[in-house]
Amino acid sequence: MRSYKTIDDVFEQVEFFVDAVSDYKSDFILFPEYFNAPLMAKFNHLGESQAIRELAKYTNEMRKRFINLAISYNINIITGSMPQLRGNDLYNVGFLCRRDGTYETYEKIHVTPDETKSWGLSGGKVIKTFDTDCAKIGILICYDVEYPELTRIMADQGMQVLFVPFLTDTQNGYSRVRICAQARAIENECFVVIAGSVGNLPRVHNMDIQYAQSGVFTPCDFAFPTDGKCAEATPNTEMILVSDVDLNLLNELHTYGSVRNLKDRRNDLYELRLKK
């Protein structure tokens, strides 16, 4: 997080990250929740709810630019999140921009009390997995990873990697996201990737400080790291984290794992279903 005056300033930094990560032949890049918050500085004289609605006016243009970057750098981009207006309702959404030029939208299902109070956000309704050219993935925005039902629904749909863009201002909030993300990896026998912002924004109300440590987490079994940590960034420091994951290890885990959290569920006693 740093001061940006225009959308071009933001995407100069965005393209730097995309370019750097694509040099490592990466299949995915994950950006944080509300990564474009610095642009709210020019609306700081307005009330918080109005300022974020002004920020939402950039969203369509940002989606177009991300699609172009995904094609030109041959990488699948998960855009973190940004506000989106639909009529009078405001949502927290992001986009999976595939390198073939297609895109899909994901939504934050559970908005935090602060998002409701300060910005008047509404919760989304779409819970789904996404097919890509190298994995079936799920995407949950921040607070949503603290609800295990969502990830279990996605696991039942065949999800292999869960991506979690987040934004937290305190270590307490970060710990909630991180610990829950690690739990989701174990419960659902999948990889979980989290990415958050660091730095301060002195001229943006309700978004002035950030705390994060991005990471890639795994199940805890013999084929994986003993502590379930595949890779971690330096705490609260800007950096790029590049990590390899082997999807074949998940197939072995499902069949031969010391414990099999998906297969061993007592479906004769309980079940989880998605309401239509």
The letter for the amino acid at 108 is K
Is residue 142 part of the annotated active site? The answer reads yes
> Is 131 within 8 Å of 160 (Cβ atoms)?
no
State the CB neighbour count (10 A cutoff) for residue 86.
Answer: 10
In sequence order, what are the residues at sequence separation of 6 or more whose Cβ sits closer than 8 angstroms to the Cβ of residue 218? Answer: 185, 191, 224, 225, 228, 229, 230, 245
Phi, psi of 123 (to 5 degrees): -80, 145
Is 33 labeled as catalytic in the residue annotation? yes
Rounded Cα gap, residues 223 and 253, in angstroms: 8
Q: Which of 183, 125, 161, 144 is nearest to 244 (CA)?
A: 161
* Selected catalytic residue, list 48, 107, 115, 142: 142
Pick the catalytic residue: 107, 108, 189, 190? 108
232 catalytic residue (yes or no): no
Residues catalogued as catalytic: 33, 108, 142
